[in-house]
Structure 1
Amino acid sequence: MNHTVKEIHSQFKQLRLVETAEELPQLLREAEKSSWTYLEFLEAITHFELKKREAKSVERRLKWARFPYKKTLLEFSIEAQNSLSERQLTQLQEINWLEQQYNLILLGPPGVGKTHLAVGLGIEAINKGFQVYFVTMGELIQLLKTEEFAHKSQVQMKRLRASDLVIIDDLMYMAMDQREANLFFQMINHLYEQSSIILTSNKSPDQWGELMGDEGITTAILDRLLHRVEIVHMNGDSYRMKNRQNLF
């Protein structure tokens, strides 16, 4: 079995081990230099391939998530928060709440970092192997209303319903009509005890009924969202206002 490196490179590609095929010359040099055993060499190959596949999988899940930006929790300024401690942030970052299918509601005025925290937690979830989908409330209502006849909306809603974590940003920033409220309830009902949801809102749950206009639907939605939930109040000063003031 006297194969050349070129032949083995080609065979790796046929086996769809493309990343390993490209790295093979370097791995062989390292094996010779360090006098690896056969087992060590095989371990190096499999480790390299698995690492590359996981990196590609994370990249695909990040693209699927449709985040408005990629800000991690390392970039989140906990010092600016009056009501969220370092310990609480660490607990959220461990993603145990997602494994237990808990929901998170991030409440606070505009600019305090609700979306940043939601995106950061979404990225943490993706790095731990979960499927995540991000959508603003305005985008979600449009998707729900056009799903019946628009292929693009059908694709996006299929991805949303297949996700382990759904992030809905700016919940209840606008009033819903009867049809929109019904469609929103159906979606929440589908996700109930199947996926976790992160909601960001500047209005507390007891104010949501005013915007849905239907007490029955509001109660049904809240029953499902609040069954297992952690509510994080983010009442610090606006980050954006702080940054804006610092410019002058």
Structure 2
Amino acid sequence: MNENFDAARLTLLLSELRLPATKQIWATFAEQSDKEGWPAARLLTVIAENELAERDRRRIERHLAEAKLLPGKTLDNFDFNSVPMISKAQVAALCAGDEWLRNGANLLLLGPPGGGKSHLSSAIGLALLEKGWRVLFARTSDLVQRLQLARRELALEAALNRLDHFDVLILDDLAYVTKDQAETSALFELISTRYERRSMIITANQPFGEWGKVFQDPAMTLAAVDRLVHHSTIFEMNVESYRRRTAIERKQVGAGRPATFATPKNVGVPRPGDNKPPA
């Protein structure tokens, strides 16, 4: 490196240009370039590629922090054998295809509790996030209560606009929303606002025919279902609960044998004895 080179000035310029990754590593690349005799164009290319890679990494970190996805739930540790009606190819196509998201289409996961709906929805959200889409995972009841509070504070429109920043909104356990006029009205407004504009992934324990337990009147139920199923993919995950299955296995073969269920690497699943009082 040229002895007259002003390293401090370059560092200052890189700060002004907001190139933090280049500021941190330029000296290493420059030293390697001097040793190996790189052309200037190669040095610039390597530095630019590194800066872009670091920007992508930081963006994913930011988006992951805001997404509130379930920890430990990935496609790699989802047991597709436990839900034979869902194929890896189907899920891979959803994670790889951009068209359904650009068209504001939805994904609906229906089935009884314990079938892996929450795991799969969060894992798909993670795969989409890694591709650059902004994702938010929320329990439906929690989110609806926040929207209801925003309505009381005359800030519902602002709250919906903030949610509009997310390409994919994952509403988990839709059926657990309280059948309250204010809450169901806020939920319906959210569905209507995102219709054909922003995508949603929704998990629900009840089939559509029982959604009258969620919404206040048949007309609202019909309108909500109509908006959700239009341009949607529906996964019906009618399988036995892995919780029940693993409880039966423990009873039959003892607690020492590891269970097999829809989320084999599920973080936070209690082990036998976890809830026993200390001796």
The TM-score, its normalising length taken from structure 1, stands at 0.90
User: For 2:197, what is the secondary structure of its paired residue?
Assistant: coil
Please say which of residues 222-231 and 9-18 is displaced more in the overlay.
Answer: 9-18
1:162 to 162, 165, 190: 165
- SS of equivalent residue, structure 1 residue 104: strand
Contact 2:160 / 2:190 at 8 angstroms: preserved in 1?
A: no
Question: 1:42-81 to 2 correspondence within 5 Å?
Answer: 42-81=44-83
Which stretch shows the higher mean deviation, 148-157 or 79-88? 148-157
Cα pair 1:132 1:163 within 8 Å, conserved: yes
CA-to-partner distance for each residue in 1:108-127, whole Å, 9 max, x for gaps? 12121111111111111111
Pair 1:19–1:151, CA change in 2 (3 A)? farther
Render the CA deviation track for 1:46-76: whole Å, top value 9, x for unaligned.
1111111111111111112122324221221
Q: Which of 236, 240, 263 is equivalent to 1:233?
A: 236
Distance 1:116 1:151, change over 3 A: farther
Number of corresponding residues: 248
CA offset at residue 155 of structure 1? 7.4
Q: Is the 8 A contact 1:137 1:169 kept in 2?
A: yes
1:153-192 correspondence to structure 2 within 5 Å: 157-192=160-195
Is 1:93 equivalent to 2:95 in the alignment?
yes
Normalised to the residue count of structure 2, the TM-score between the two structures is 0.81
Q: Which residue of 2 aligns with 1:138?
A: 141
Instruction: State yes or no: 1:206 paired with 2:174.
Output: no
SS of the counterpart of 1:74? coil
Letter in 2 for 1:12: L
Partners of 2:178 and 2:184 within 8 A in 1: no
Quote how far apart the aligned CAs of 1:173 are.
Answer: 2.3
In 2, distance between residues paired with 1:241 and 1:93? 30
- Unmatched segments (≥5 aa) in structure 1: none
CA offset digits 1:222-243 (Å, max 9, x no partner): 1211111111011223233444
Equivalent pairs: percent with the same residue? 32
Aligned residue number for residue 83 of structure 1:
85
Per-residue deviation, 1:183: 1.6
> Larger C-alpha radius of gyration, 1 or 2?
2
The answer to whether 1:104 aligns with 2:107 is yes
Task: Give the aligned partner of residue 31 of structure 1.
Answer: 33
Please say if residues 178 and 214 of structure 1, whose CA atoms lie closer than 8 Å, have aligned partners that are also in contact: no
Aligned mate of 2:11, from 9, 12, 16: 9
Q: Which runs of 5+ in 2 are unaligned?
A: 256-279
